[in-house]
Chain A
Amino acid sequence: MTSDVVVADGLWKRYGNREVLRDVRFTLRSGEAVGYLGPNGAGKTTTLKLLAGISRPTRGSVQIHGLDPVGDRGAALRKLGALVETPGVPPYLQGRDLLDYVARVKGVPAGERRGAARRAAEAMGVEGHTDRAFGTLSTGLARRLLLAATLIGEPDLLLLDEPTLGLDPAARHDLRVVLRGLARNGLTLLLSTHLLEDVEAVCGRVLFLRDGALVGDEPLRPSDLDGGGASNRALRLRFSSDVTSASVGGALGPDYAITIDTPRDAIVRFSGGDVEQRELLVRLLAAGLPLVGASPPEPDLARRYFERVGREDSE
């Protein structure tokens, strides 16, 4: 059973005369990894600030596990890890100072603090850099140490704002692997980023924000888009020679919705699970169609991003 970990209920945020957020509503259920996409200035960071109790909404409310992150911050934020924007750390401090401080504040028992800090540092691949001053670290290493600090105290909710910013490709890949692993283990994740591939690699759902308003809340993969309808699964099928909707449809029967993407590519939507998927492939092969590959359709996130938020500041 899933439960709502985060409830953002009609969030408005105004700075002076500028409305940064307008009636933003969404929930994050336990174990969900959700991408938060939008151009610069759309209000992504502001949303994360409200969720993390850094800022207060002008109107609306936030609940983390049913608690107000500002009023009940001690309880609401205990199992939260948040990295919002790019916080600096005084250059003379060492990574282990920060990890120990976070462990203390999060109430990690004295005997477990060192182990908790070590595990968090190892998860981010910075265990060899914790005794260096922040001022001597590269941007990427400093960021990874901050990310490690968010993992202290075994959080069940991570709010990350551009977590891969400043990381080299290897570190970026490693971070995605870590985040995927955490999400698989039931951690709830809200990932605000400009990098669509980060979302594609980690998330199962995506929120689109434009000019402070939520303009999309949908599953990452198109195959999930019809979840409420007759078809809940999709496969991209590749053939070695041209096929038509009629030839594929003739092989499969009426329960399958077929879209010919290119002459040798078709997307088939159907309802069911692995058994129905296997049956589909068997029918195609039995009909003698030149099937050479089958895979889940690509998320096609870039196209949807442009459709939802336009082309400004796209990456």
Chain B
Amino acid sequence: MTGVIRDFLDNARWELVRLRRSQRIWLLLIPAIAGPIGSTLADLYLRVPSPATAQVLGLLITAGLASLVLLDLTALAVGEDLALRTHYFTFALPQSRAAALAGRLTIAVGGSLAVFGVGVILVLALASELVASLPGAVPAILVPAHLAAGLFGLLLFLGGVTSAAGFLTRSSSQALVAGVLAGVVVAGLASLFLLEGRLTPTFPEALAAGGLIGLTWTVVQFQRADG
């Protein structure tokens, strides 16, 4: 095993220890369980007219919950050590800083995306199984599968913005605020494009690309950071 891979794995494990000790690991259950079950119950109670509409609502709710978890975990993964100056200790350890942060972000961002993926599967399955189509129901505003893919792009974007903000501000709380603001802007733009009939796959693709750029930039800057 090369040094970089070992550094990556050591720090991925370290991030899991942090999540476990801070009890934040339980947050990962929210998008995977609370989102699908909660939205399905709401669908049934509100008599949502079609499985596709139920799926759209469930996906939006689950993505909203996943985004909160992602923002929190990402902001802490990048910003907490910098705010506490723990990096004065960890930067002096014989490891690649880039690999170290990549390992931690893989757990924070990757974990949030993974549990959102579980939530997506459950939302789609529960809605198609439990929600019946009412006669004369209007078509869903979005194709659920497209929406799910777009939401992955959104979450990736939020991860990128939050991680970059965490590095720039050296503060997890400010990173969190930056992520929330980014989410609000993206939601506004998406609504605008939807109303104007201009919402195409390019938008979430651009978001995903932006997110990957943000994450990569953070990792590269972390390696170069002047403590």
Contacts and interface: CB of A to CB of B under 8 A. Distances in A.
A complexed with B: yes
B92 A90 contact: no
B17 A83 contact: no
Given A49-B227, A88-B86, A54 B91 contact: yes
B94 A77 contact: yes
B3 A74 contact: yes
B138 interface: no
Interface stretch (A92-100, A200-208, A217-225): A92-100
Interface in B86-120: 86-89, 91-96
B46 interface: no
Contacts of B92: 52-54, 77, 80, 82, 84, 159
Contacts of A53: 91-92
Contacts of A289: none
Given A74-B94, A74-B96, A87 B89 contact: yes
B80 interface: yes
Contacts of A75: 94
A280 interface: no
Contact of A89 (B13, B14, B86): B86
Residue from A92, A94, A97, A159 having most chain B Cβ neighbours under 10 A:
A92
B205 interface: no
Interface string A12-29: 000000000000000000
A55 interface: yes
Contacts of A129: none
A85 B93 contact: no
Interface in A36-90: 49, 52-56, 73-78, 80, 82-90
A281 interface: no
B142 to A, nearest CB: 40
Interface string A86-120: 11111011100100011011110000000000000
A78 B85 contact: no
Interface in B12-47: 13-14, 17-18, 21-23
Interface string B69-84: 0000000000011001
Q: Interface size for chain A: under 10, 10 to 19, 20 to 34, or 35 or more residues?
A: 35 or more
B110 to A, nearest CB: 20
A85 B96 contact: no
A175 interface: no
Interface string B112-150: 000000000000000000000000000000000000000
Interface centre among A76, A104, A149 (most CB of B within 10 A): A104
B21 A106 contact: no
A148 interface: no
A102 B93 contact: yes
A52 B91 contact: yes
A148 B95 CA distance: 19
A296 B81 CA distance: 47
B85 A97 contact: no
A62 to B, nearest CB: 12
A89 B17 contact: no
A133 interface: yes
Contacts of A78: 94
Interface of B: 3, 6-7, 10, 13-14, 17-18, 21-23, 80-81, 84-89, 91-96, 226-227
7 A-B pairs with the lowest CB-CB distances in the bound complex, closest first: A88-B84, A54-B227, A77-B94, A52-B92, A82-B92, A87-B89, A87-B88
Interface of A: 49, 52-56, 73-78, 80, 82-90, 92-94, 97, 101-102, 104-107, 133, 146, 149, 159
Given A77-B94, A87-B88, A92-B23, 20 more contacts: A49-B88, A54-B92, A54-B227, A74-B96, A75-B94, A77-B92, A80-B92, A82-B89, A85-B88, A86-B85, A87-B85, A89-B84, A90-B21, A90-B80, A92-B18, A92-B21, A93-B17, A93-B18, A101-B14, A107-B6
25 contacts: A52-B91, A53-B91, A54-B87, A54-B88, A54-B92, A54-B227, A73-B94, A74-B95, A75-B94, A77-B92, A82-B92, A85-B85, A86-B85, A89-B89, A90-B21, A90-B22, A90-B86, A93-B17, A93-B18, A101-B10, A102-B93, A105-B7, A106-B94, A107-B94, A159-B92
